[in-house]
Amino acid sequence: MGKVVIIGAGLAGLTCAKVLKQQGWQDLLLLEKSDGPGGRVRTDVVDGFRLDRGFQVLFTAYPGVQRHLHLRDLNLRNYRPGAVLAKPGQAFLLGDPLRDLASGIPSLLNPLATPLDKLKILQLRAQLAQRSPEQVFREGLGGEDLSIREFLHQYGFSPAICQHFLYPFYRGILLDPDLNSSARLFAFYFKMMAEGSIATPALGMGDIARQLADHLAPDQIRYQTPVEQIEVEEGKVCGIRTRTGDKIAADWVICATDALQAQVWQQTLFKGLSDHSVHSAYGLEQPPVPIPTQARSVTCLYFRAPFSLTRGGYLYLNASGRGWINHWVELTHISPDLAPTGQHLYSVVVLGDPPLSDEDLAQTCCAELQDYFPKAPVEHLQVVRVYRIPFAQFVQPPGFQAHLPTVFSGIQGLVWAGEYTQQSSIEGSLRSGEQAAESVLKGGRA
């Protein structure tokens, strides 16, 4: 079979290792530069609070989640279907009466969405139910791929529901302030939410990575082992060299790092090669497709307080169209285990990387929250930690799928495994890791 070295213990690398192990591949080694698995999907413990590295949720209907995770063992805690649309001093529930009967009347009476909007939501749900996830992601509802903003207008949603619900909700998913992302992503996420739950493990998203890592024996994964170089001889990968100078021979190297590091290696390995020399050296008809590195960033602030601000396990959306905050959630309504007894934990999400210090940004967010909750003692919120994530997703405009690299790098034995071969999400990471393993099992390009 040969030896496989996987670089990076994010979800893609862990999934690749899991699939290979389950198919009987024993000679594999996963190398991770940090002190634990998960990459961006990790949970830190700070003063007894369990903080995901940025606001994250799990869509239980993801096909990759269904194939690779044991959801029952994750002890999932579900969000309530729908969202609360918040304006200063006001809050309006827009729920999913088909799955949450209690939200029926408040949703029906919600003045921020017209009756036609509510019928359009049911119509879209029915249309997407007739298509597989693969069809939805590949084709949407048919026709040319548009931006999300163009699609919502074309589909006939009112400006009211767009401004108050659809825009802030999908900005939060895609981290795209202008919603210029592919409408096929909108359709895919809409279907996933209609057919499954939005959830988080009771002890944080890091449990997802730990569950995947448990498929490996202790001697098959090494932490705090950064890889300095991928070594190639005569057009074929032959191993890696760690930062400490150790060389590990390999027949296969799976690059499951983030997109920025993968791009560095891609550029280094193909540096200076013309179309003709690429063909001569690696048997390619043309240079490899560049790994996408145009990024969308996000900032997540965690606050603590001895009191509750919100009602139930709902996501709160900024429906005012003003201010820094896009959405927030009282996480201890979802899982009390995320905070010490008697404390409440809040996650507040700001799109991008604001040009404010952590302290100034926290004060600004608290002032905005005070507008939404004028009678609450918001001044007593205390910041626990601020996470600034400069590369949270890659940009995904209409038609982006046609411009993504495949797992086949162009060099024999070197395989890419990362969301950048699929889509920027947990589903994309799981699927890419799965495809990387399948490529190794089949011996190459397929």
pLDDT number for residue 404? 96
Q: What is the model's pLDDT at position 311?
A: 84
| Tokens, residue 408 | 């086949």
Return the amino acid letter for 263: Q
Residue 82: closest CA among 141, 20, 165: 165
Residue 430 φ/ψ, nearest 5 degrees: -65, -45
Distance CA 91, CA 74 (A): 32
Fold classification of 4-40+206-292+397-441 (topology level): FAD/NAD(P)-binding domain (3.50.50)
Q: What is the pLDDT along the chain (446 residues), one digit of tens a residue?
A: 789 999 999 999 999 999 999 999 999 999 999 999 999 999 999 999 999 999 999 999 999 999 999 999 999 999 998 899 999 999 888 877 767 766 667 677 677 889 999 999 999 999 999 999 999 988 888 889 999 999 999 999 999 999 999 999 999 999 999 999 999 999 999 999 999 999 999 999 999 999 999 999 999 999 999 999 999 998 899 999 999 999 999 999 999 999 999 999 999 998 855 444 444 455 555 678 999 999 999 999 999 999 999 988 999 999 998 999 999 999 999 999 999 999 999 999 999 999 999 999 999 999 999 999 999 999 999 999 999 999 999 999 999 999 999 999 989 999 999 999 999 999 999 999 999 999 999 985 44
315-318 sheet: strands from edge to edge: 90-95, 82-87, 315-318, 325-330, 344-351, 295-305, 382-394
Domain residue spans of the chain: 4-40+206-292+397-441, 43-59+295-394, 78-199
Candidates 53, 25, 119, 111; CA nearest to 302 is: 53
May I ask the CATH architecture of the domain 43-59+295-394? Answer: Alpha-Beta Complex (3.90)
